[in-house]
Amino acid sequence: MQAVDFVDGKLRLLDQRELPQTVRYLDIANARDARDAIRDMAVRGAPAIGLAAAYAMALAAGEAARADDPVRELKVLAAMIADARPTAVNLRREVEVAMDLLTGRSETWFDVALSHAESMREGQRLEDEALARNALPLFRPGMRVLTHCNTGALATGGLGTAFAAIVEAHRQLGLSEVLADETRPRLQGARLTAFELGRAGVPHRVIVDGAAAYCMAQGLVDLVIVGADRIGSDGRTANKIGTYGLAVLARHHGIPFAVVAPRSSCDHLWPGAREVEIEQRDPREVLEFMGQRVASAGSDALNPAFDVTPGGLVTAIVREDGLFGPPYAF
């Protein structure tokens, strides 16, 4: 099931807002619609967002080449795509890479950007395979694993990050069970991770986010393993909201906490020269469920999409170039 593709001159996205009930693809013909799909989370997961951005830049390049002022139009469209979601480093980086490539005649821009996106997709596939191999030492037979959000093939151009590691560990060693946090408020764990675990034949149960502490205290968790939308030079990790809490709980209970993500999610300027904006999403995602109001009419909501886990709480970081332990210096 391909999350991101490019077919007949259009960006094709598997609409993850509809899963698992409905499998629906969006065929996107212009950069603005691509931006909207990224912003509205039709596609999500840092590597997949980066890949979608690379294809969106191909659409932008084609549009800009037809404008009266191609260079100016390309800059406008690139800035629009880069601002779709602020926290994941892959999105802005892929826009910047594309802009660096589009220096020749505007008539060539589309082909150049598309070629880059296609090579990036193949690169993600190889990266994901390496991530799964490098993470294997974290596992042992019969292990019980807890994961958060969704890090499977739906989140990348390949097999996934932490999810691929889980599947490979189950294939080689045999896991007892995976506990998938439901991941409020958009339920990526209940809707997407459980869906992919079922397809992969991995035994699993879904838990509410608030049950993680109970499960750890009951001895039901041997390893917490998650992905990342951004990894700082000191190992700090920006990931789906709730990840920081899991790291604190894991440390209290003496459980290893591992992060699996490609080097493209690493940001050597953070902390330091770069500040990271934590995306604040629509309060209605918290106040409503399936379009129906569940909170009282006078209530508002705070809805951060990500939190930051200090590197000191991270037992291991797995990238395609190896498995690393603290202290981190990326």
Structural contact between residues 272 and 262, judged by C-beta atoms closer than 8 angstroms: no
Per-residue pLDDT at 36: 97
Cis peptide before 271 (omega within 30 of 0): yes
Per-residue pLDDT at 290: 83
Helices marked H in the chain:
31-39, 46-65, 70-82, 89-101, 109-135, 162-172, 188, 194-200, 212-217, 243-253, 284-287
Structural contact between residues 177 and 219, judged by C-beta atoms closer than 8 angstroms: no
Catalytic residues, by residue number, are 229
Local structure of 323: helix, strand or coil: strand
What's the CA gap between 198 and 163, in Å, rounded?
A: 12
**Three-state DSSP string of 229-297:** CEEECCCCEEEECCHHHHHHHHHHHCCCEEEECCHHHEECCCCCCCCCCCCECCCHHHHEECCEECCCC
Task: Name the pLDDT band for 253 (thresholds 50, 70, 90).
Answer: very high
Count how many Cα atoms sit within 13 Å of the Cα of residue 283 in the half-sphere of its side chain. 11
Task: Name the pLDDT band for 268 (thresholds 50, 70, 90).
Answer: very high
What's the CA gap between 189 and 194, in Å, rounded?
A: 6
- What pLDDT, in 10s, does the model give residues 202-232? 999 999 999 999 999 999 999 999 999 999 9
* Residue-range domains of the chain with CATH: 4-128 (1.20.120.420), 132-324 (3.40.50.10470)
Please state the pTM of the whole predicted model. 0.90
Count how many Cα atoms sit within 13 Å of the Cα of residue 28 in the half-sphere of its side chain. 30
Closest CA to 306 of 138, 53, 91: 91
- What pLDDT, in 10s, does the model give residues 125-184? 999 999 999 999 999 999 999 999 999 999 999 999 999 999 999 999 999 999 999 999
- What is the token pair recorded at 34? 């691509």
Closest CA to 115 of 48, 55, 62: 55
Per-residue pLDDT at 88: 75
What's the CA gap between 107 and 248, in Å, rounded?
A: 53
Per-residue pLDDT at 315: 98
